[in-house]
Structure 1
Amino acid sequence: MSNGADEPEEDSESESVGPFGLARAFQPLTDYYRSIFADLFQPVIQTYEPMSHIGEMISKRLVEASGVDAMLRETFEPLREHFREYWRDVFEGFGSLKERIYPPNLHDATPSVEEFEQLLLEEGIPLMWVPGPKVVRALLDVPDAVERRRIIGRRWKGIVNHCEAVIEDVDHPGLLEYRGFAIDCVAALRDGHNNPAQALAANLLDSLMQAHFSQSERAKLTSHRLGKFDLNDHGIRVALTFAPVWYAHAEYWPKNGDPIPRVFGRHPSAHGVSRSQYSRINAVYGLMLVTSVLKFFDVELAR
């Protein structure tokens, strides 16, 4: 059985880290190196800068005759060589750190903090492990949420393929049963069974959260009554993985006459079954969320 979808279709191209939160993760290190750099070079700058403004030839010749100019060059050149090697090592270290923090799909097109907040918290788009790097780049290159939703609608087949690859890579013994149900979501979507795929994804997400978090931990990651999810309140991987999960748990109360949302939500998937909530694109959102959370536990759980 298949439900119709109003989104366009197009085939695609077929260790928690702390102690800093996301927005402040690299700032202390950046400030530290900036201060070291400034302290080391300040004496040289203070000596050399006034000389650079000597306008008269006689003064320049006196400086040259005094040997100060040569001395500065002799002092500065080794320092420059030292810092060229030093900063090369620093930036190589940044690259290594980025690869440890971010999954492979974010290595080539790593969003800024502002982009993370927009896509994860304002639009509920998972970015950890899925979708693939080309889709991530496409999502970052368009100006608004409407265009990003259209991209996910057009590239759904490629996104499903990438989700399948990530799911199949999950090998933690405690997650194998969940992995099997996630593969069922993939199969259902491929076969055009969008409604069952979305329902299974929503319930599988709930089961993963129930199995691996206490009630208080789940509340911190999903409750909208506690206020907006703050990326800085969590380790980087936790923040990036569960911010869109928080978005998907937006409150929906049929008894209060709340309209059924058109974007994917855990509560309307369970309590607002309708053509407004159920669609292929929302099933893809659900699959991406489940894949991201499943892989998070695969990486973080003790073995």
Structure 2
Amino acid sequence: MIDDDGADDPAEHPDEDNEPDDHIELTPEQAANLRRVISNIPMPEIMLPESVRRSIADAQRALSSQNLKPLHEAQAVWRKQLSTSITSDTLKSFEQISEQLNKHIDFNGIAQSLETVAKINTTFAAQQTTLFKNLNSAIEAMRAGFYPSNLQSIEGLDFEDVDAVVMADGIPLYGLPRTATAEALIRAENTSKRRDILDWRWETISADCREIVLSCSSKSVAPYAPFAVAALDALDAGHTDAAQALAGSLVDTIVTGHFGSDRYKYTPNKKTKTTDAYDKFTVREYIAFAPMWQTYQPFFVSNGDKVPIQFSRHATAHAVSKHQYNRPNAVQALMFVCSLLYRISEESD
């Protein structure tokens, strides 16, 4: 008889249970003999690492009831057979097996071997942890090595943060200023905050620029270095406008002297609308030369262009006014002059 849903009607099979029989009927004597035999089999105590125990427990929990169903069914059959087949002869066989196990199998040795394996696994895991720590340190050191020395000790430094300063705002970071000031510029919220830092820390920035220029020893920067020092002297003496005017002229002279006609690949003009050419630079080259893009933004008095408030080489030369001439711009111009000389000197050494 088949129900409409295709399943057998349990009423047609009264002798079959729907669930596995978990109960084994043994006589008291059989149960006692079985416990005695099992108790004589040595069971080594194995101390597994906590991680291994957790893995085993997780694996056990991962077994679903559906996966265990065939096992339950097989156990039910085995238990029924066992309940009717355990005799004194069977128990005697168990005793003989137990004796053979005791004679020929070194359970203590097995336990020691397993403990050794566990120790090896623990040691290997520790070695892996150490390896990855060392590897991470090496990668971090390698990554830091891409940056100029004044940026290398800044923790968690992302290139995008550096890019926002050197490319978007045109503020140099190559070799100067000192690490604390460089980090303050990088962490600043916006352009306005960065200009405040240039204004507030102008004295230490000027000192950093002077140190950098005086450290340059290559012949390629020798013609420019005295003028950079003169501009710094003017700034330190309070002659901000004179410092910016000389720095603005120096920027153009140095860029043209270094790049020649290639300068037009890196400065905005009718043919160059994007910064794609900068992609060919190394990280250090990029940081050193990226401020060019903002420094040379188009500005034409004849077109009625508004005078930019940020440092502009063209506005410095063609639109002398208090709107363009100010201390933050003078500091920014001198930073670019000195960082360019530092980079060019490195390339020549």
Same fold (TM over 0.5): yes
Paired AA for residue 176 in structure 2 = V
Paired AA for residue 207 in structure 2 = N
Aligned counterpart for 1:268 among listed residues 311, 315, 319: 315
Give the structure 2 partner of residue 167 of structure 1.
Answer: 213
Give the structure 1 partner of residue 31 of structure 2.
Answer: none
Give the structure 2 partner of residue 39 of structure 1.
Answer: none
C-alpha separation in 1, matches of 2:269 and 2:128: 48
Task: Output aligned runs, 1:1-303, within 5 Å.
Answer: 51-54=56-59, 70=115, 73-98=118-143, 100-109=145-154, 111-216=157-262, 218-225=263-270, 226-230=272-276, 232-301=279-348, 303=349
C-alpha separation in 1, matches of 2:57 and 2:269: 60
C-alpha deviation, 1:215, in angstroms: 0.8
C-alpha separation in 2, matches of 1:119 and 1:69: 59
> Residues 54 and 224 (structure 1 numbering): CA distance in 2 closer, same or farther, change over 3 Å?
same
Structure 1: which 5+ residue stretches go unaligned? 1-46, 57-64
CA distances 1:28-68 after superposition (whole Å, capped 9, x unpaired): xxxxxxxxxxxxxxxxxxx9985241458xxxxxxxx9999
> Residues 200 and 85 (structure 1 numbering): CA distance in 2 closer, same or farther, change over 3 Å?
same
Paired AA for residue 166 in structure 2 = L
C-alpha separation in 1, matches of 2:183 and 2:176: 12
Give 3-state SS (helix, strand or coil) of 1:173's partner.
coil
Matched-pair contact (CA < 8 Å) for 1:224–1:246: no
C-alpha deviation, 1:288, in angstroms: 0.4
Paired AA for residue 143 in structure 1 = E
C-alpha deviation, 1:214, in angstroms: 3.0
Structure 2: which 5+ residue stretches go unaligned? 1-51, 62-109
Matched-pair contact (CA < 8 Å) for 1:221–1:229: yes
Paired AA for residue 93 in structure 1 = A
CA distances 1:164-187 after superposition (whole Å, capped 9, x unpaired): 111111111221221111111110
Matched-pair contact (CA < 8 Å) for 2:251–2:336: yes
C-alpha separation in 1, matches of 2:159 and 2:144: 17
Paired AA for residue 107 in structure 1 = Q
C-alpha deviation, 1:272, in angstroms: 1.2
Paired AA for residue 267 in structure 1 = H
C-alpha separation in 1, matches of 2:326 and 2:249: 16
C-alpha separation in 1, matches of 2:224 and 2:285: 20
CA distances 1:224-267 after superposition (whole Å, capped 9, x unpaired): 54233255442111111111121111010111110111110111
- Higher radius of gyration, 1 or 2: 2
> Residues 98 and 300 (structure 1 numbering): CA distance in 2 closer, same or farther, change over 3 Å?
farther
Give 3-state SS (helix, strand or coil) of 1:150's partner.
helix
Give the structure 2 partner of residue 18 of structure 1.
Answer: none
* Worse-matched range after superposition: 171-180 or 246-255: 171-180
Paired AA for residue 80 in structure 1 = A
What is the TM-score of this pair, normalised by structure 2? 0.64
Greater relative contact order structure (CA < 8 Å, 6+ sep): 1
Query: For this pair of structures, how many residues does the alignment match?
Result: 247
> Residues 292 and 68 (structure 1 numbering): CA distance in 2 closer, same or farther, change over 3 Å?
farther
C-alpha deviation, 1:141, in angstroms: 3.3
> Residues 264 and 48 (structure 1 numbering): CA distance in 2 closer, same or farther, change over 3 Å?
farther
Q: CA RMSD in A?
A: 2.6
